[in-house]
Amino acid sequence: MTRGVAFPTVRRPKAGGGIHAIVYSVRAARKAGGIRATYRALRSRNACKTCALGMGGQLGGMVNEAGHFPEVCKKSIQAMTADMAGAIKDAFWENFDLEAMGRLTSRELEAMGRITKPMYAGPLDQRYRPISWDEALHRITRKLIATDPRETFFYMSGRSSNEAAFLLQVLARVYGTNNVNNCSYYCHQASGVALSSVTGSGTATIVLDDMEGLGEDDVLFLIGANPASNHPRLMSTINRIKRRGAKVVVINPLKELGLVRFRVPSSPTSLLFGTRVADEYLQPHIGGDIALLTGLAKRVLENGAVDEAFVSTRAEGYEEFRASIEAASWEEIVEGSGVPRAEIERVADLYCRAPNAVFAWAMGVTHHTHGVGNVRAIANLAMMRGMLGRPRAGLLPIRGHSNVQGIGSMGVTPRLKQAVFEHLERQRERRDRRDGAVATRA
C-alpha cells in the first residue's frame, strides 16, 4: 500500500484565543482560496455554520443579532474554510483502502478535502469507489423499501437548513416512522424539559443585549460550559462586561485555560495583555452541581437576600423549595458538591450583591441522568433573587449547532408540535380528497 499524500502537522495551542486564533484563521483562509474569497463567503447572507450564539443570516455574514459588525471567530472561519475546501483527490481513494482510512485521525481526514460525489463500499469491497447519483439513490431507496420503517432512525445535525430539515422529517413520516431526531436532543433536551416546566418555554429567557448590558457588580454564571473553545465570540462579550465591572463565576470541574485567561483577538488590549475571565472558579465533583446550587441557595436564604416580591407573586412552589434548602445540611452540601463551604459562601455573597445576573450553561449541566434537575436548580437559584423576566437577568442554555432551534421548529423531533402535525394532516386530507383516498404508510 503506498501513502502518496502529505499530511499537515498540527501544533497544540498554549493559550485561550489570542494570536494563535488569528494565525490559524489567516492560514485556513489562505488554504481555502485566499483571504478575499473567505471574506466574501463569510459575508454571505448565511447563518454562521458553527455554534448557536448567532451570527449572520438575513443581517448578512459577520453581523450579530444586535447588528454589530464585524463579528466572527476562529470556529466560524474553520467551518467556512472546511466547506470551501476542494474535492478529495481520486489518488486518496486509490491509495487508501478501508483499513488504512481507519488509521487516520478525523483531523487528517478533514484535511483531505470534501466528498463531492457518492462513494460506496459494499460488504466485499476493500475500499470506497465512486458511484453515480442514480445508483446511490437507487441503493438507498431499495434498502428503505426492504426495511421495516419501525427499524429505521432519521437523524439530523443542527447545521442543516430549515428547508432540508422540513423535507427530511416529512420524508420519514411519509415513509412510516416517527424515529426522527436532531442533535439538540442529545445536548439540551434536559434544558428544554426543565425550562418548559419553569417558564413554559424550552428556550433562553434572555437576548444578547441582556448579557451585553451587564455592568458594575452584575454577575454572569458560566456553568458546565467552555465558550472560550465552543462559543468564542461570547468571550468578547465577557471582555466588554468585565471592563464595565461585571463579575464572572465559572462552575466547572475542569480548570479550562480559556476561562482563566483569554486574549480576545478583536480587542487590542485583551490581545496584548489578556483578559482575566473568572473572578471565581468553583470546581465541583462531576455530578455535584445540585449540591453546589443548593449551597448557593442556602447562603442566599441565610443572607436574607431572597426577592420576596418575586417569589410570592411570580413563582409557585417557593415554600416547598425553601423548606428543602433549609433541610439540606452544610455537611451534605460540601460532601455532595466537593466544594469547600467558604468558597460557596463567598460566591453566594457575590451573587447576593449583584443587581443583575445571567446564568448560562451547556453540556456539563445537561449530560447527566439528573440533567433536568440541574437546570431546575439553576432556575430556582435565579428566581430566588428575581433574576427572570426582566432586562439583564435570566437563563441561557448555550446551544451547540447554529440551527438547532430551526430544525426543531421544522419538525425534526420524535413528536411533532401539535400545530405542525394538524397542518400536515390537513395537507394530507386535502391531497387525498384531490387524488381519491390513497393510504399512506404512516
Enumerate binding residues for ligand SF4 (CB under 6 A). 48, 50-51, 53-55, 72-73, 75-76, 231-233
Q: In sequence order, what DSSP letters do the residues of 134-175 get, joined into one string? A: HHHHHHHHHHHHHS-GGG--EEE-TTS-HHHHHHHHHHHHHH
Cβ at position 270, least distance to ligand SF4 in Å = 16
Which position has the grid cell 453515480?
132
Q: Please, which residue, 65 or 345, has the CB nearer to ligand SF4?
A: 65
| Closer by beta carbon to ligand SF4, 56 or else 224 | 56
Hey, which residues does 401 pair with through a beta bridge?
A: 51
Nearest Cα neighbor of 106 from 29, 7, 34 is 7
- 403: number of Cβ within 10 Å: 27
C-beta closer to ligand SF4: residue 82 or 424: 82
Which of residues 75 and 298 has its CB atom nearest to ligand SF4 in the complex? 75
Q: Looking at beta carbons only, is 232 or 288 nearer to ligand SF4?
A: 232
The three grid cell numbers given for residue 56, joined into one nine-digit string? 449572520
Three cell numbers, residue 206? 434572555
Q: Is 29 or 387 the residue whose CB approaches ligand SF4 more closely? A: 29
Q: How far is the CB of 47 from ligand SF4 (least distance, A)?
A: 8
Alpha carbons 318 and 339: distance in angstroms, whole number: 26
Shortest reach from residue 352's CB to ligand SF4, in Å: 31
CB-based contacts of 258, cutoff 8 Å, min separation 6: 15, 16, 17, 226, 228, 229, 235, 277
Q: Which is nearer to ligand SF4, 74 or 173 (CB)?
A: 74
Cα 203 to Cα 109: distance, rounded to the nearest angstrom: 35
Give the C-alpha distances (Å, rounded to integers) separating 204 from 77, 328, 388.
26, 29, 11
Minimum CB separation of residue 233 from ligand SF4 in Å reads 4
Helix axes 289-302, 371-384, angle to 10 degrees: 20
Which is closer to ligand SF4, CB of 72 or CB of 372?
72
Residue 371 to residue 364: CA distance in whole angstroms: 9
CB–CB of 130/94 below 8 Å? no
Of 259, 257, 215, which Cα lies nearest the Cα of 398? Answer: 259
Residue 87 DSSP code = B
In the complex, minimum distance from the CB of residue 85 to ligand SF4, in angstroms, rounded to a whole number: 18
By C-beta, is 265 or 336 nearer to ligand SF4? 265
Burial of 108 (C-beta count, 10 Å sphere; 0-12/13-18/19+): middle
Backbone angles phi and psi of 289, in degrees to 5: -65, -45
Q: Write down the least CB distance from residue 374 to ligand SF4, Å.
A: 23
* Of residues 289, 233, 285, 295, the one with CA closest to residue 258: 233
Q: Looking at beta carbons only, is 75 or 376 nearer to ligand SF4?
A: 75
Nearer to ligand SF4, 74 or 247 (CB): 74
State whether residue 229 is helix, strand or coil: helix
| Distance from the Cα of residue 80 to its chain's centroid | 18
